[in-house]
């Protein structure tokens, strides 16, 4: 079944892109009176209550995996697949950065498709079978990177390297770029899944005595925060936890970077502000015990992050199509692989009040199957020229924006 047919049988179109937040940092709710800070800064007794080191480590681990593949490709050197597997599971001190090796209780693999809502409580169509399959899929990308490395030239049906301007890219035999599928796919299957289906889940935030302890300011043992405060910080950390705004050129990683890129387009020009305010307002509401406002911010965060995934998926599909005329299509494979990863991420979105994704696993699988449905995958340029526009239009319609709006994002 094509994605178009799956879409027609699915839930009605939901317009995400119209959702916005007020930019007023002062909140007066019935029974509450508190101020939202202008930055994500929260203190108790003069000491910060914010902590998300584990999230920073995982972002840097994924970044290191991507850089390792990139650097090996640039040097025409072989990719050590065993090293990549170890980086994925943080085994056998695989990182150049000592602090990542020292974080032995932190890894990417056991946080892939691991959220409470989807992969423990099995809402949103999740299952243990899917969890295993997703982790195997990413390990296959690591294997594919190894198979493509070493200097063999990429060609139809042959994994290898492609000289893309000043960059060298590794392509699998079907044209997918394993590094980009890994990076964009893990943004969804790990980072997004943990944010919207785990740390911002009320099943996690309000578990056990969390709400009573937060209301009564019962702190975690040896810490300066309540359990609920920390859970919210961990969600924040998967989005902003590796940013460095003090650098000469500010550094933004993964979700934070793509939020900025979508926000740079006037069609989506309040996105960055809306998300940052929602995270700050939700955290301030937790400190004040204002759970209705907290839950309203959760809905905004879920909607806005889903929008980022959809806009970037459409953007890369269209960018890829425009490049199909060059080098028998190979010039397009980098963008199409990024699009593939962002399409994967749509499965891990969470539509507020449903505990279900905006696009089901079956719908996402149908999109990916249709994208790769030509002979030898992305190498079938004629097939892609026929199908990409429809796929992009269907995703855009589903999320309430136009292809033209997404195309102008840079």
Residue 141's Cα: distance from chain center in Å?
Answer: 17
Structure tokens that stand for 238 in this block: 């998967």
Distances 271 to 16, 21, 256, 351, 354 between C-alpha atoms, Å? 11, 9, 11, 17, 22
In the predicted model, is pLDDT for residue 4 greater than 80? Answer: no
Q: What is the pLDDT of residues 21-75, one digit of tens each?
A: 334 455 555 578 899 999 999 999 999 999 999 999 999 999 999 999 999 999 9
Interatomic CA distance for residues 273 and 296, integer angstroms: 16
Query: How much is the pLDDT for 22?
Result: 39
186-237 pLDDT, tens digit each: 999 999 999 999 999 999 999 999 999 999 999 999 999 999 999 999 999 9
Q: What is the pLDDT of residues 70-109, one digit of tens each?
A: 999 999 999 999 999 999 999 999 999 999 999 999 999 9
Token output for 90: 């943080």
Collapsed DSSP state (helix, strand, coil) of residue 102: helix
| Tokens describing residue 68 | 């390792």
pLDDT bin (cut points 50, 70, 90) of residue 269 is confident
Q: Please tell me the predicted confidence (pLDDT) of residue 207.
A: 99
pLDDT at 14 over 80: no
pLDDT grade, residue 149 (50/70/90)? very high
For residues 352 and 20, the model is more confident at 352
pLDDT of residue 409: 72
Q: How far apart are CA 49 and CA 232, in angstroms?
A: 11
Distance CA 111, CA 186 (A): 10
Assess contact for 113 and 189: CB atoms under 8 A. Answer: yes
Q: Where are the domains of the chain?
A: 3-407
Stated pTM of the model: 0.94
pLDDT value at 8 more than 60: no
| 135 CA to centre of own chain | 15
Q: Please tell me the distance from the alpha carbon of residue 399 to that of residue 79, in angstroms, as a whole number.
A: 38
pLDDT at 263: 97
Q: Residues with Cβ < 8 Å from 121, sequence gap 6 or more?
A: 203
| Eight-class DSSP state of 13 | P
For residue 21, with 0-12 CB atoms within 10 Å meaning exposed, 13-18 middle and 19 or more buried, which class applies?
A: middle
Give me the sign of the Cα torsion angle 283, 107, 83, 136: negative
- Whether 130 shows a pLDDT value over 70: the answer reads yes
- Measured between alpha carbons, how far is 190 from 137 in angstroms, rounded to an integer? 13
Looking at residue 23, its pLDDT comes to 43
The span from the CA of 294 to the CA of 350, in Å, is 16
- Please give the pLDDT value at position 25: 53
Q: pLDDT tens digits, residue range 325-382?
A: 999 999 999 999 999 999 999 999 999 999 999 999 999 999 999 999 999 999 999 9
Q: Categorize the per-residue pLDDT at 410 as very low, low, confident or very high, splitting at 50, 70 and 90.
A: low
pLDDT at 3 over 80: no
Q: Give which of 135, 143, 100 is closest to 242, Cα–Cα.
A: 100
The greatest distance separating any two alpha carbons of the chain, rounded to the nearest whole angstrom, comes to 67
Strand partners, 35: 26
The three-class DSSP label of residue 24 is coil
Closest-CA residue to 405 (of 226, 209, 257, 269): 269
Q: What is the pLDDT of residues 281-319, one digit of tens each?
A: 999 999 999 999 999 999 999 999 999 999 999 999 999
Polymer length of the chain: 410
What whole-number distance in Å separates Cα of residue 339 and Cα of residue 260?
17
């Amino acid at each position: 079944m094509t994605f178009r047919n799956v879409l027609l049988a699915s839930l009605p179109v939901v317009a995400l892109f119209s959702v916005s937040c007020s930019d007023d940092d002062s909140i007066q709710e019935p029974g509450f009176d508190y101020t939202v800070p202008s930055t994500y800064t929260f203190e108790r007794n003069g000491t910060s209550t914010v902590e998300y080191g584990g999230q920073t480590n995982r972002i840097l681990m994924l970044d290191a995996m991507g850089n390792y593949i990139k650097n090996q490709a640039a040097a025409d050197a072989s990719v050590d697949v065993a090293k990549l597997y170890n980086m994925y599971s943080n085994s056998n001190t695989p990182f150049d950065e000592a602090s990542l090796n020292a974080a032995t209780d932190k890894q990417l693999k056991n946080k892939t498709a691991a959220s409470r809502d989807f992969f423990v409580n099995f809402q949103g169509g999740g299952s243990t079978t899917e969890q295993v399959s997703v982790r195997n899929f990413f390990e296959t990308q690591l294997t594919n990177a190894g198979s493509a490395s070493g200097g063999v030239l990429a060609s139809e049906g042959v994994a290898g390297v492609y000289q893309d301007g000043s960059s060298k890219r590794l392509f699998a035999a079907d044209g997918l770029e394993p590094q980009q599928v890994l990076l964009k796919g893990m943004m969804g299957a790990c980072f997004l899944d943990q944010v919207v289906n785990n740390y911002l889940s009320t099943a996690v935030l309000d578990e056990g005595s969390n709400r009573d302890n937060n209301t009564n300011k019962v702190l975690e043992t040896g810490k300066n925060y309540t359990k609920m405060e920390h859970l919210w910080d961990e969600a924040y950390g998967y989005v902003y936890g590796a940013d460095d705004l003090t650098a000469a050129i500010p550094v933004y990683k993964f979700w934070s970077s793509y939020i900025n890129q979508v926000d740079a387009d006037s069609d989506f020009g309040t996105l960055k502000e809306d998300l940052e305010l929602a995270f700050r307002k939700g955290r301030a509401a937790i400190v004040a015990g204002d759970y209705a406002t907290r839950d309203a911010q959760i809905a905004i965060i879920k909607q806005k992050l889903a929008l980022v995934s959809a806009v970037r998926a459409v953007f890369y599909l269209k960018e890829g199509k425009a490049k199909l005329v060059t080098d028998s299509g190979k010039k397009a494979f980098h963008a199409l692989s990024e699009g593939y990863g962002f399409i994967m991420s749509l499965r891990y979105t969470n539509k507020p009040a449903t505990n279900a994704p905006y696009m089901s696993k079956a719908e996402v699988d149908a999109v990916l199957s249709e994208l790769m449905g030509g002979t030898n995958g992305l190498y079938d340029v004629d097939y892609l020229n026929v199908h990409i526009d429809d796929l992009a239009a269907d995703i855009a319609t589903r999320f309430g924006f136009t292809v033209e709006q997404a195309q102008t994002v840079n």
